[in-house]
Amino acid sequence: MSNGFYSPIPDDHGSTGGIICANTDDTQRIVGERQLALLRELAAKTSDARTFDQACTSSIQCLQTNLYDLPFAMIYLLDSDQQQIVLAGTSGIDRSHAAVPETVDLHSDSAWSLAEVLKTHKAILISDLGFYDSLPTGAWDRSPHQAIVVPIAPHGGTGKAGVLVIGLNPFRLLNDEYQGFIDLVAAQITSSVATATAYEEERHRAEALAELDRAKTTFFSNVSHEFCTPFS
């Protein structure tokens, strides 16, 4: 978005001999503001996630607020058996869309290269989305023609591995600034999943200890009963 301002230039006779046109381009400012708004919302709404479902649901809700830079997105997480990755949420695209597999086997390939990204821990740019028809347009009137698939790596020894698929703004190049924004989005989701993992592991430990305490209580109660029962 640009604004133009015009000022007349007088000539030697006092008439207008020309104009000065000063243009200011607000595009970068507007893009930066909406990206910063999303990152702030992600940090605020996902930091207190206590379960994987909460982490993914909150992340998806935040991604849906910026369909300009992220026309559509999909989050996949590795299952407990580490044999496949499972869809955890979508933004800007319906789960029933042909481009959204519910699960992907790690020993097979997919159009989104999910298994490769998970294995190499490196982002992959899908430069041609022509293999899918009728992809959503997000906030635009044209579907993305490129997508990027970035890894969600376990954070600090905790968290679940996964991938984030993002359809790119069809009117922007994937430059360093755009890539940096996407990396920050993925990092915040990674942190949220790691936090949820820590809480779930702590809850499971607490439940296991509680079950052990119940078992010990039952055992000692039975032993006490045996000692208190006279022999016949």
Does 147 map to a domain?
A: yes
pLDDT of residue 17: 65
The domain that contains 125 carries what CATH number?
Answer: 3.30.450.40
Does 93 map to a domain?
A: yes
pLDDT, one tens digit per residue, over 6-44 is 566 676 666 766 776 655 668 889 999 999 999 999 999
Torsion angle of the four alpha carbons 194, 198, 201, 202, in this order, in degrees rounded to the nearest 10: -170
pLDDT tops 80 at residue 206:
no
Does 226 map to a domain?
A: no
Does 8 map to a domain?
A: no
pLDDT of residue 76: 96
> Is-contact 186 150, C-beta < 8 A?
yes
pLDDT of residue 9: 64
158 vs 198, higher pLDDT: 198
What totals of helices (H) and strands (E) does the chain contain, helices first?
4, 8
pLDDT of residue 195: 87
pLDDT, one tens digit per residue, over 47-80 is 888 888 899 999 999 999 999 999 999 999 999 8
pLDDT tops 70 at residue 107:
yes
pLDDT of residue 22: 57
Q: Could you tell me the residue range of the domain that residue 65 belongs to? A: 32-209
Does 20 map to a domain?
A: no
Closest CA to 160 of 40, 41, 56, 44: 56
pLDDT of residue 186: 96
Does 172 map to a domain?
A: yes
Does 227 map to a domain?
A: no
The mean pLDDT value of the chain amounts to: 85
Does 221 map to a domain?
A: no
Total count of domains within the chain? 1
